[in-house]
């Protein structure tokens, strides 16, 4: 984990931009502190619960990078009134009206970032569309502060060739910078240009015009990122420890006590060039066992088998009581199934690091 943190931080330093780590991956104070101690500046969150917990832990520079629902504005206001430098996000005139109406009633000038859609993957405003300036003017005229623009090139998760990843990273950079330039040319402030995903952060050749990068999954990595091509399997820092509890030898199955409740339902590798089922099987020490996957899962039962053949000697290979580690498809989803991390330190000691849930 610490190597992953330093790898990303050093890359952002070399590209001359701030790194604002996404805390949704870990939802864990010791992990986020390690990211900030390495040089991260501020954090990104995906829920107000994350903002509240991390602010209570002394982290005040926070971007809530999900379009805000009007019903959540009182919680956002409470954070700001408590001293949290919370920025919120919108991508519509309707969203601006709700923010501006509430802000005016509470005498609060929220700092709002406009989300830009650079690849049609999710939400945001096209950087070249008329709506961008309409939203910017509505924020400014409504007494709110236009803090910047942000984008997330989620389509990068669907690529795996280096040239394709570099092209997506450049499209993310260019589109977001273009949106910022258009706002400035219209006389509107746009101090922050924020982009980010783990694949594009590692693939960008340059980040001219960008002020910060938001990335999160790099802290642990996972099999999706391995398939994308931005990490080796031995760089995946998160695994689920499980035990063999039975066999179906004629089927070549070993039954383990980690089902989808332990691994999550995320099958993010299914559409990629290599499908890892519910996860890659490793020995207890974390070394991958080639060809063996957590191929299917029920709620509390997982089925380990060889992806290449029916291994009718699987009971001898993995006797009852054998402990295995499963590398996850998507670390954010797998971590969300558990209340704590067991952190394996370099000196051989193990610490318990709590993580939290909820919105």
Q: What is the pLDDT of residues 35-49, one digit of tens each?
A: 999 999 999 999 999
pLDDT digits (tens, 9 = 90+) for 50-70: 999 999 999 999 999 999 999
Given pLDDT bands bounded at 50, 70 and 90, which one contains residue 146?
very high
User: For residue 351, is pLDDT > 90?
Assistant: yes
**How does pLDDT run across 165-191, given as a tens digit for each residue?**
999 999 999 999 999 999 999 999 999
Q: How far apart are CA 195 and CA 63, in angstroms?
A: 12
Q: What average pLDDT is seen over the chain?
A: 97
Looking at the structure, tell me whether residues 41 and 189 fall in a common domain. Answer: yes
CATH code of the domain containing 250:
2.40.37.20
The boundaries of the domain holding residue 27 are 2-220
Which neighbouring-strand residues pair with 337? none
Residues 285 and 139 in one domain: no
Q: Is residue 255 part of a domain?
A: yes
> Which residues lie below 8 Å from residue 323, measured CB to CB, with a gap of 6+?
241, 242, 243, 244, 284
Instruction: Indicate whether 238 pLDDT > 90.
Output: yes
Residue 311 lies in a domain: yes
Q: What is the pLDDT of residue 297?
A: 97
Q: Does 98 share its domain with 175?
A: yes
Q: Is 352 exposed, middle or buried (0-12, 13-18, 19+ CB in 10 A)?
A: exposed
Is residue 341, in this structure, part of any structural domain at all? no
Instruction: Write the CATH number for 118.
Output: 3.20.20.10
Residues near 291 by beta carbon (within 8 Å), at least 6 away in sequence: 306, 307, 308
Whether residue 149 sits in one domain with residue 43: yes
Domain assignment present for residue 53? The answer is yes
Residue 228 lies in a domain: no
What is the 3-state composition of the chain as percent helix, strand, coil, each rounded to the nearest 5?
Answer: 35, 25, 40
The pLDDT-based confidence of 122 (bands split at 50, 70, 90) is: confident
The C-alpha torsion from 44 through 10 and 234 to 152, rounded to 10°, is 40
Closest alpha carbon to 162 in 119, 195, 121, 200: 200
Residue 120 near residue 170, CB atoms below 8 Å:
no
Q: Given a cut of 90, is residue 120 above it in pLDDT? A: no
**Rounded mean pLDDT, 114-133:** 94
Please tell me the pTM assigned to this model: 0.95
Residue 69 DSSP code = P
In a shared domain, residues 283 and 161: no
My answer on whether 29 and 157 are in the same domain is: yes
State the total domains in the chain. 2
Q: Are residues 158 and 32 in the same domain?
A: yes
Same domain, 153 and 243: no
Question: Would you state the pLDDT for residue 121?
Answer: 85
Q: What is the pLDDT of residues 293-326, one digit of tens each?
A: 999 999 999 999 999 999 999 999 999 999 999 9
Same domain membership, residue 24 and residue 55:
yes
């Amino acid at each position: 984990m610490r190597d992953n943190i330093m790898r990303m931080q050093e890359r952002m330093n070399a590209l001359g931009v701030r790194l604002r780590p996404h805390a949704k991956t870990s939802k864990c104070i010791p992990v986020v502190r390690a990211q900030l101690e390495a040089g991260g500046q501020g954090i990104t969150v995906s829920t107000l619960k994350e903002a509240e917990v991390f602010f209570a832990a002394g982290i005040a520079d926070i971007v809530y990078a999900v379009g805000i629902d009007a019903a959540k504005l009182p919680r956002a206001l409470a954070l700001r009134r408590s001293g949290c430098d919370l920025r919120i996000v919108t991508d519509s005139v309707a969203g601006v009206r709700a923010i501006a109406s509430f802000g005016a009633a509470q005498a609060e000038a929220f700092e709002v970032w406009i989300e830009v859609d650079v690849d049609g993957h999710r939400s945001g405003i096209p950087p070249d569309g008329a709506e961008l300036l309409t939203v910017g003017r509505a924020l400014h005229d409504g007494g709110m502060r236009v803090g910047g623009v942000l984008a997330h090139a989620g389509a990068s998760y669907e690529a795996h060739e280096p040239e394709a990843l570099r092209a997506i990273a450049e499209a993310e950079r260019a589109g977001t910078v273009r949106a910022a330039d258009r706002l400035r040319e219209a006389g509107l402030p746009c101090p922050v240009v924020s982009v980010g995903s783990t694949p594009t952060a590692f693939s960008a050749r340059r980040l001219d015009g960008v002020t910060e990068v938001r990335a999160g999954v790099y802290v642990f990595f996972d099999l999706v990122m391995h398939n994308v091509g931005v990490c080796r399997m031995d760089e995946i820092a998160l695994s689920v420890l499980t035990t063999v509890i039975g066999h179906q030898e004629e089927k070549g199955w070993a039954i383990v006590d980690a089902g989808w409740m332990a691994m999550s339902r995320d099958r993010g590798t299914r559409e990629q060039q290599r499908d890892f089922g519910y996860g890659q099987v490793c020995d207890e020490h974390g070394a991958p066992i080639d060809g063996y996957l957590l191929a299917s899962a029920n709620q509390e039962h997982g089925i380990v088998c060889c992806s290449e053949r029916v291994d009718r000697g699987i009971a001898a290979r993995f006797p009852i009581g054998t402990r295995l580690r499963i590398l996850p498809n998507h670390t954010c989803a797998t971590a969300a199934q558990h209340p704590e991390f067991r952190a394996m330190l370099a000196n051989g000691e193990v610490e318990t690091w709590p993580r939290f849930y909820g919105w």
